[in-house]
């Protein structure tokens, strides 16, 4: 399915419940106030105090010596690949990883690297699978320089890597002479769900980033962290890809506000995801994957409707969710959808399915 961004039609009904993505969150009034009050300077000159405060805080949170503020998580991934790798290198990652499925072929286009996809349930792979992908070192094989993991796994259903499994694959990569990088788009969801501090969860990663525009509710911003040498080299790639963001403290202040106010409440999103999954599971024809965090994946094949068609009909009733395949849908809970919104969403699903000719029945 090709997604082409479009402006909403004036005739579209208002959105009542937006479960399309946690990127749909809007900054709260209090977050906007923090942004307006931010101390700023020129980030290029290194004199924006709000950016420094955020980066210092994130470096400490992630247990890394240094950090850098960037507009997006995709830029974090690509700058990390550019910094760790050279043209002709090979990156290993799960075949459903964001760098393979959702970044426009950037590893090949920008870094000139190949990314080999690994198999494994729920967006994760084990040590045996990783070791089977290792190549003998020779002039005939691409140098394998980087292992990439996601926490949580997006297409894997928002699953959280267990710490022992995660550390095992990171250790195996290091033993093979590779660097390790974590796509931490929803890292704090994993931290809250698993009860493991962020610095422990990413201890085996040479680089890692956190996105503030998803469940943390900021309008833009991500922080990439690693060693001082890594961040110094990454800054050159940041310059090449567009440079500094000047008075970026306005945006950094939103991210700092999110760390203060929007981390622990991620547990509410997880609870709402479980409630949504329970409600969907009661509808005839819907098969639901049990959520671990804030992503609820479900299969629509039993309804007789492709996921895209169900999404179209739900949108006509004010509900949005994502389409991830012919019969695979994804609903994402976040701070702009409360428990009442979840009940409304379930009611809309029930109403749409009832209009298919037979009332939606409850599974026994």
Q: Cβ of 241: how many Cβ atoms within 10 Å?
A: 13
Give residue 46's pLDDT: 87
The two tokens of residue 228 are 């001082």
Q: Is the pLDDT of residue 346 over 90?
A: yes
Backbone phi, then psi, for 170, in 5-degree steps? -65, -40
- Does residue 14 fall inside a structural domain? no
157 Cβ contact list (under 8 Å, min separation 6): 122, 123, 289, 291, 292, 295, 297
Which CATH number covers residue 172? 3.40.640.10
- For residue 252, the surrounding DSSP H or E stretch is helix 249-261
Mean pLDDT of all residues belonging to the chain: 94
Q: Do 306 and 200 share a domain, yes or no? A: no
Residue 80 within a domain: yes
Torsions phi, psi of 235, nearest 5? Answer: -60, -35
The answer, yes or no, to whether residue 304 has pLDDT greater than 60, is yes
Q: Are residues 217 and 282 in the same domain?
A: no
Looking at the fold, whether 75 and 191 belong to one and the same domain comes out as: yes
CA distance 236 to 194: 35
**What pLDDT does 355 receive?**
84
Look at residue 364 in the predicted model and tell me its pLDDT: 42
Domain for residue 345, yes or no? yes
pLDDT of 209-239, one tens digit each? 999 999 999 999 999 999 999 999 999 999 9
Rounded to whole angstroms, what are the CA distances from 56 to 24, 52, 248, 259, 286? 27, 6, 15, 13, 46
The whole-number average pLDDT for the span 253-275 is 98
Q: How far is CA 119 from CA 116, 125, 126, 163, in A?
A: 10, 6, 9, 19
Our measurement of the distance from residue 242's CA atom to the centroid of its chain's CA atoms, rounded to an integer in Å, reads 23
SS3 70: strand
Query: Is there a domain that residue 359 lies in?
Result: no
Q: Of 243, 261, 279, which marks where a domain is finished?
A: 261
Q: How many residues are given for the chain?
A: 364
Q: Which of 244, 230, 236, 252 is nearest to 67 (CA)?
A: 230
What token pair was written down for 347?
């009611």
If asked whether residues 104 and 155 sit together in one domain, one would say yes
Q: Which domain holds residue 345?
A: 265-354
Q: Are residues 144 and 212 in the same domain?
A: yes
- Residue 268 confidence (pLDDT): 98
Considering the domain architecture, whether residues 302 and 251 belong to the same structural domain is answered as: no
Does residue 212 share a domain with residue 65?
yes
Same domain, 134 and 215: yes
Same domain, 141 and 159: yes
- Mean pLDDT, residues 156-168 taken together: 97
Do 46 and 175 belong together in one domain? Answer: yes
Is there a single domain that holds both residue 57 and residue 132? yes
> 85-123: per-residue pLDDT in tens?
999 999 999 999 999 999 999 999 999 999 999 999 999
**How high is the pLDDT of residue 316?**
95
Q: Residue 358: what pLDDT?
A: 53
Residue 334: CB atoms within 10 A of its CB come to 24
Structure tokens at 20: 């399309």
- The pTM is what? 0.94
Domain contains 3: no
We report the CATH number of the domain holding residue 297 as 3.90.1150.10
pLDDT on residue 244 = 83
Could you tell me if residue 256 is inside a domain?
yes
Q: Domain tally for the chain?
A: 2
List of E strands, 30-84: 66-70
Domain boundary among 214, 245, 261: 261
Q: 114-118 and 90-94: which strand pairing?
A: parallel
- Residue at which a domain ends, from 229, 261, 293: 261
**Residue 255 clears pLDDT 60, i.e. is over it:** yes
The reply to whether 97 and 189 lie within a common domain is yes
Q: Exposed, middle or buried by CB within 10 Å (0-12, 13-18, 19+), for 133?
A: middle
């Amino acid at each position: 399915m090709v997604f082409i961004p479009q402006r909403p039609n004036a005739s579209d009904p208002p959105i009542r419940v937006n479960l399309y993505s946690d990127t749909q969150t809007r900054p709260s009034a209090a977050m906007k106030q923090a942004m307006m009050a931010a101390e700023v300077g020129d980030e290029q000159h290194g004199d924006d105090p709000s950016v420094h405060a955020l980066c210092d805080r994130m470096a400490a949170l992630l247990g890394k010596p240094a950090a850098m503020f960037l507009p997006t998580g995709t830029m974090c991934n690509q700058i990390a690949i550019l910094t760790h790798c050279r043209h002709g290198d090979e990156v290993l990652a799960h075949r459903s990883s964001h760098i393979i499925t959702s970044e426009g072929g950037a590893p090949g286009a920008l870094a000139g690297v190949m990314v080999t996809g690994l198999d494994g349930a729920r967006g994760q792979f084990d040590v045996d699978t990783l070791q089977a992908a290792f190549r003998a070192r020779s002039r005939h094989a691409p140098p394998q320089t980087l292992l990439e993991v996601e926490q949580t796994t997006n297409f894997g259903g928002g699953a959280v890597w267990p710490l022992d499994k995660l550390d095992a694959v990171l250790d195996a990569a290091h033993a093979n002479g590779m660097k390790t990088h974590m796509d931490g788009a929803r890292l704090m969801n994993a931290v809250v769900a698993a009860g493991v501090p962020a610095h422990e969860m990413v201890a085996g990663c040479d680089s890692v980033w956190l996105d503030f525009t998803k469940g943390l509710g900021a309008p833009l911003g991500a922080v990439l962290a690693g060693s001082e040498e890594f961040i110094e080299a990454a800054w050159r790639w940041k310059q090449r890809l567009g440079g500094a963001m000047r008075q970026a403290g306005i945006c950094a202040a939103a991210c700092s506000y999110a760390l203060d106010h929007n981390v622990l409440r991620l547990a509410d999103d997880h609870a709402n995801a479980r409630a949504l999954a329970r409600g969907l599971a009661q509808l005839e024809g819907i098969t639901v994957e049990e959520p671990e965090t804030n992503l609820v994946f479900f299969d629509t094949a039993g309804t007789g409707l492709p996921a895209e068609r169900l999404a179209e009909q739900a949108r006509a009733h004010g509900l949005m969710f994502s389409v991830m395949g012919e019969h695979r849908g994804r609903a994402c809970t976040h701070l702009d959808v409360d428990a009442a919104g979840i009940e409304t969403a379930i009611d809309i699903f029930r109403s749409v399915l009832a209009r298919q000719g037979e009332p939606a029945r409850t599974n026994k």
